Chain A
Amino acid sequence: DQQVKQNSPSLSVQEGRISILNCDYTNSMFDYFLWYKKYPAEGPTFLISISSIKDKNEDGRFTVFLNKSAKHLSLHIVPSQPGDSAVYFCAASANSGNTGKLIFGQGTTLQVKP
């Protein structure tokens, strides 16, 4: 049962353009969402997050949007840079149990072409 889904395995964009990565979830108990970025041969690193009480969070070139009614979130990268080429994972947390358990999607490989 995949509670967090990233339906696009890959995305290719031109440098300077916008990258939009999408994520859907099914569990309405999720109240916190995160995006992680992963380069080859490295572990994932935290990128940006959003609480379910917000619909938008921005950090520099990265913005995450949350649509609770649609159970959908997206990560926008503007402008995209070649160094952004990596695998992006969406993750969710339902912290009612006060644990750090994160549920991850399958990941989307972003390629930014110079």
Chain B
Amino acid sequence: DSGVTQTPKHLITATGQRVTLRCSPRSGDLSVYWYQQSLDQGLQFLIQYYNGEERAKGNILERFSAQQFPDLHSELNLSSLELGDSALYFCASSRGQNPKTYEQYFGPGTRLTVT
């Protein structure tokens, strides 16, 4: 158990809908990351927050948005869903930002299926 929790574990929804994925980081971790793993793909970095502020962005679609709240939990919002958005979405957290110093701990992921 990494200490990072993600809800829900599974989500099935229809095209055009909007969903919210939630992540609670490990206690004391200030940084939260979101990654997407599509079929036969590696983990694609989406976005990073540190202590409530956006710090880095990957190839995140405009239909996707995220935020980190004062209690440090984070939400990833996916809207106007398309079939291609079906994937595993992982959240990770770390105490600081530098990966040389601070290990990223991953949650178990949310499996999103868009039908």
Contacts and interface: CB of A to CB of B under 8 A. Distances in A.
Interface stretch (A14-22, A60-68, A100-108): A100-108
A34 B104 CA distance: 11
A70 interface: no
Contacts, number: 79
Contact of A106 (B41, B55, B97, B104): B41
B56 A101 contact: yes
A100 B94 contact: yes
A69 B5 CA distance: 40
A110 interface: no
Interface residues of A, number: 29
B55 A41 contact: no
A45 B97 CA distance: 17
Contacts of A46: 103-105
Q: How large is the interface on B (under 10, 10 to 19, 20 to 34, 35 or more residues)?
A: 20 to 34
Interface string B37-58: 0001111110010100001101
Contact of B44 (A6, A9, A104): A104
A114 interface: no
B100 A95 contact: yes
Interface string A76-90: 000000000000010
Interface of A: 4, 6, 9, 32, 34, 36, 41-46, 49, 51, 89, 91, 93, 95, 97-107
